[in-house]
């Protein structure tokens, strides 16, 4: 099953930091940003998370929830979140259920070795659970401001 813009997303439940379980259907009535990133404590992922953190109040003002998602464990997520002071929860997708649903796993190469990793991607979901925007192959600079503008424009 693959997701498409302007279609409802299938419901999902996933474990997140602070002992929270995130269930999409329970977020109805709010706009939701899901941002997938490769790994906790790495430079690009830290910068992206800090950008979401620094604009978090503006996302709240736009009635938009923010969740970061990677394959890291909840323990690593808790550590990363505390160290960076993220006011939003991080979802652990260790079994890649959400990564596969949103089709963000890609063949990557590092130091000549092939591996499967998360392609930095962001998804904006409306109050009814419909996917409204997607950003793939995200470059961090300026990205969060673009997502915020899209969330503010969506109502």
Catalytic sites, residue numbers: 45
Residue 39 backbone phi and psi in degrees, to 5: -160, 140
Beta bridge partners of 123: 34, 134
Strands in 31-36's sheet, in edge-to-edge order, are 89-92, 64-70, 31-36, 121-125, 131-135
| Cα-Cα-Cα-Cα dihedral sign, residues 78, 146, 31, 1 | negative
Query: Which residue reads 């706009």 in tokens?
Result: 31
């Amino acid at each position: 099953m693959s997701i498409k813009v302007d279609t409802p997303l299938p419901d999902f439940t996933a474990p997140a930091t602070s002992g929270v379980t995130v269930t999409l259907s329970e977020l109805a009535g709010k706009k939701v940003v899901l941002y997938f990133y490769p790994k906790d404590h790495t430079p690009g992922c830290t910068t992206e998370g800090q950008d979401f953190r620094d604009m978090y109040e503006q996302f709240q003002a736009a009635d938009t929830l923010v969740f970061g998602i990677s394959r890291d464990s909840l323990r690593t997520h808790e550590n990363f979140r505390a160290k960076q002071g993220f006011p939003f929860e991080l979802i652990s997708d260790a079994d890649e259920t959400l990564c596969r649903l949103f089709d963000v796993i890609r063949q990557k190469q590092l130091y000549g070795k092939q591996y499967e990793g998360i392609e930095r991607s962001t998804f904006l979901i409306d109050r009814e659970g419909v996917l409204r925007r997607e950003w793939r192959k995200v470059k961090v600079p300026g990205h969060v401001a673009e997502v915020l503008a899209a969330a503010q424009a969506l109502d």
